[in-house]
Amino acid sequence: MELNKHLADQGANEALVELFSAIEDASKIVQSEVSRAGLGADIYGAKGSENIQGEEQQKLDVYADECFIHAFRGSGQVAGLASEEQDNALQFDESLKGEYVVMIDPLDGSSNIDVNVAIGTIFAIYRRVSKSGETLIEADFLQAGRDQVAAGYVNYSVSTQMVLSTGNGTHIYTLDPESGTYQLISENVKIPADGKVYSINEVNLDDFDDNLKRYAQHCKDKRKEDGKRMYTGRYIGSLVADFHRNLLKGGIYVYPATVDSPNGKLRLLYECNPMSFLAENAGGKGSDGVQNILDIKPTELHQRCPFYVGSPVMMDEALPSI
């Protein structure tokens, strides 16, 4: 079943279905560009600029950002957008009547672009709180994750897949290169309760708090009844790819506060919130180590937070006090 038909079956209104058409269109352009990387096209490498967070922008980061902005602006359904690659929130004057605002990381896993490893687009969709036709306000963008209307990601990998939720389960669609349509392949995916995979950048081990050090050791020590190890370590360095594998196999992904990133590295609005929404809709959990990610009231557009997400049993073992 095609994505737009499935969305409508799930009760999405026409405006939301159209908004998703914009995501489909932009993701197909990005996918096509990603697939040509290395073919002599000048796609790899740094753009020579930095985003507001002081991170070097890659050419594909900027290309993907432009594609999605163009698609959302043209859809008429989106009044404004906040992007990892934009200093400030954008307002689309031509679609001020749009009912939605979008938060987006247009190309996540930038460090993996040049080495042909999976990368992704992550997005969160909210209904605006300001009145239709009026100028957007800060509160439109600083909504708690719990208020997401929909969230998802596109995983540009062996195949291109979109994973999304409109609050009614988490579903997976594969881009059929022949028809150019996303086809439903898994409805209502459930993350295994106790997973197999522990995903964390262990170079930061010395920076972990005592509880996380304990949990990291626990993952190494825990054995099944037959004496074999319970867990295995897998860390790609693209949140989309690490999350996607853990969603299917069961697992936990952690990016804690570190010396280099004292508030964690990942951004609440367009990385942690959408992933937590997808996890919850698949029976998993997301936390900053203190509270449910979806309950955090954001104070800044590019706010960072420590991030734990994954299978419920592993999350409970990692964070026994919450």
Give contact residues for Mg ion (rule: CB under 5 A): 105, 108
Closest by alpha carbon to 84, among 65, 100, 66?
Answer: 65
Amino acid at 172: I
**Residue 238 interacts with, from Mg ion, ligand AHM, none (CB under 5-8 Å by kind):** ligand AHM
Q: In the chain, helix, strand, coil percent, each to 5? A: 35, 25, 40
Spell out the residues 6+ positions from residue 257 whose beta carbon is closer than 8 angstroms to its own.
Answer: 207, 209, 263, 264, 306
25 binds, among Mg ion, ligand AHM, none (CB under 5 to 8 A by kind): none
Q: Which residues bind ligand AHM (CB under 6 A)?
A: 55, 84, 105, 108-111, 201, 237-239, 242, 265
On whether the CB atoms of residues 75 and 26 are closer than 8 A, the answer is no
Closer residue to ligand AHM in complex, CB, 37/184: 37
Min dist. Cβ of residue 5 to ligand AHM (A): 31
Query: At 266, which amino acid appears?
Result: L
Q: Which is nearer to ligand AHM, 22 or 266 (CB)?
A: 266
Q: Is the CB of 242 or the CB of 280 nearer to ligand AHM?
A: 242
Q: Smaller CB distance to ligand AHM: residue 23 or 64?
A: 64
Task: Give me the least distance between CB of 104 and ligand AHM, in Å please.
Answer: 11
Give me the DSSP letters along 176-191: ETTTTEEEEEESS---
Q: How far is the CB of 305 from ligand AHM (least distance, A)?
A: 13
- What does DSSP assign to residue 267? B
Shortest CB 4 distance to ligand AHM, Å: 28
187 binds, among Mg ion, ligand AHM, none (CB under 5 to 8 A by kind): none
281 contacts 170 by C-beta, under 8 angstroms: yes
